[in-house]
Amino acid sequence: PPAMQLSNIWLKQFELMIFADSKLKRRYVDDVICTTKINNTNNKLAVLNSFHPNLNFTFEIKQDNKIEFLDLLIARDENNLLH
């Protein structure tokens, strides 16, 4: 369907701003995972949500070094490796 391609093309223009200062950065169509400093979360969220009135970014904070993304559980081990 063209909606997926249009979403992908449209969001591509914001990638540099979305992923600025992120060590982990991935995007699949309109789903994004990236890292940010905990004290910068609200500021980054405000910037992301200012891109367009129809965009609504949210954030989740990892719990026990784990976070879900696209039906996957991403975990960081004691050696800082992602699984």
Q: Which residues are within 8 A (CB) of 45 and not within 5 positions of it... i.e. 6 or more apart? A: 57, 58, 59
Per-residue pLDDT of the chain (83 residues; tens, 9 = 90+): 687 788 777 777 777 777 777 777 777 877 888 787 888 788 888 988 898 888 888 888 888 889 888 888 988 888 777 76
Beta bridge partners of 73: 68
Candidates 69, 25, 64; CA nearest to 44 is: 25
- Strand (E) or helix (H) holding 43: helix 41-49
C-alpha 1 chain-centroid distance: 23
C-alpha radius of gyration, the chain, whole number? 14
What is the pTM (predicted TM-score) of this model? Answer: 0.65
